[in-house]
Amino acid sequence: MKKTRTTLADGRELLYFATDGETVPAPPDPRELPPVSTASQLRWDPLLGEWVMMASHRQNRTFMPARNDCPLCPSSDGRHTEIPASDYTVAIFENRFPSLSTGAHLDDVDVRHPLVDVRPGVGRCEVVCFTSDHNARFADLSPAQARLVVDAWADRTTELSELDGVEQVFCFESRGREIGVTLPHPHGQIYAYPFVTPRTRRMLDVAREHRARTGRDLHEDILAAERDAGLRVIAETEHWVAFVPAAARWPVEVHLYPLRKVRRIPDLDESERDDFAALYLDVLRRFDRLYDSPLPYISAWHQAPTGDDEDLSRLHLQLFSVRRSADKLKYLAGSESGMDAFITDVLPEDVARRLREV
């Protein structure tokens, strides 16, 4: 993999990723841009014991621009975007409207609440452009292109994990206006958090309890049970397995696990990365054949926090959609939004069967 590092007009970092044989031009950014906001802050929720990120400057971020105004397409014909190059394979840059920033600082913030700690929102948010083709989907990528994205995720996980204060790196993709996507160009994001996220903390707590009770690894036991049952397995390769979890929360939900226990994306070897790219493309294409239109989805990598010294984490990807039928969406209603108690409208075994059939 070839990585080329440059900066945008406002000082944000931009990286181009390409295969070793490709030429990667990195022209300068000719735009005049205002400084990036450094006003992000964290506030401690004393009721739930969780950090909440506050970034009021994001109210002005770009929202569903016209095709000709897409900021993630290559620059061309005198129109300058976030990508100064006229073409690229994979490009990653610091978000112009970040929820977290390495330069975040507080200016005399006083919430007048003794239980609410306030800190600068120090961290980093990056945008990952999977392809220069505005009309493509991740599922349209070739295995080689998808593998390059995996290598880019690994590179960023390693580098961002070394930043001062970063405790967790989260790589993800959101697709579809139905789930809040504001730019239709195929892209994902990476968050480098200065804390361990609530979902990960909960998973670590449950894994710790399982080990104390059984002496076994929770993820290993889940994986073994799903493979033994076979009812919900979508596909299995030499190094990976994809299955619908038995207690799936979302109408369409698939988890992808490597068969070898690894903690983070950089830990995957060459064969595992190739194998994942092929299986992931297969699952995404099955998603899009369920109905007449592509499924909106979130694709979320779960990897070990930087300080997981107990070896409780296991790398896996959770892929899920809010579409519960061809013309209906799953909304987080009273039970889900008010109590975080999910109600599922379809059985996981039925979803797994349909995904296998398509």
Q: Is 110 left (phi over 0), alpha (psi -120 to 50) or beta?
A: beta
DSSP state of 291: S
- Is 185 part of any known ligand binding site? yes
Helix 218-229, helix 198-214: angle, nearest 10: 80
Over range 242-268, report the average pLDDT.
98
Query: Is pLDDT above 90 for 58?
Result: no
Measured distance CA(15)–CA(82) in Å, rounded: 11
Tokens of 76: 């061309």
Query: Is pLDDT above 80 for 210?
Result: yes
- State how far the alpha carbon of 239 is from the alpha carbons of 178, 235, 236, in Å: 33, 11, 8
- Is 73 part of any known ligand binding site? yes
- Is 302 part of any known ligand binding site? no
Over range 330-340, report the average pLDDT.
94
CATH code that applies to domain 199-357: 3.30.428.10
Residues in the chain: 358
pLDDT digits (tens, 9 = 90+) for 108-167: 888 999 999 999 999 999 999 999 999 999 999 999 999 999 999 999 999 999 999 999
% of residues, the chain, pLDDT over 90: 89
pLDDT digits (tens, 9 = 90+) for 65-103: 888 899 999 999 889 999 999 999 999 999 999 999 999
Q: How far is CA 215 from the centre of its chain?
A: 31
DSSP state of 282: H
Using 50, 70 and 90 to split pLDDT, how confident is the model at 308?
confident
Measured distance CA(170)–CA(193) in Å, rounded: 8
* Beta-carbon contacts of residue 113 (< 8 Å; ≥ 6 apart): none
Helix H or strand E encompassing 219: helix 218-229
Query: Is pLDDT above 80 for 60?
Result: no
Q: Which residue has the higher pLDDT, 122 or 21?
A: 122
Mean pLDDT score of the chain, rounded to an integer? 95
- Is 210 part of any known ligand binding site? no
Tokens of 10: 């406002």
Sole residue written with tokens 């390059």: 148
Report domain extents, the chain. Answer: 2-195, 199-357
Q: Which residues are catalytic?
A: 187
Using 50, 70 and 90 to split pLDDT, how confident is the model at 184?
very high
CATH fold for the domain made of 2-195: HIT family, subunit A (3.30.428)
Instruction: Specify the pLDDT at position 21.
Output: 84
Decide if 287 contacts 321 (C-beta within 8 A): yes
Measured distance CA(37)–CA(58) in Å, rounded: 9
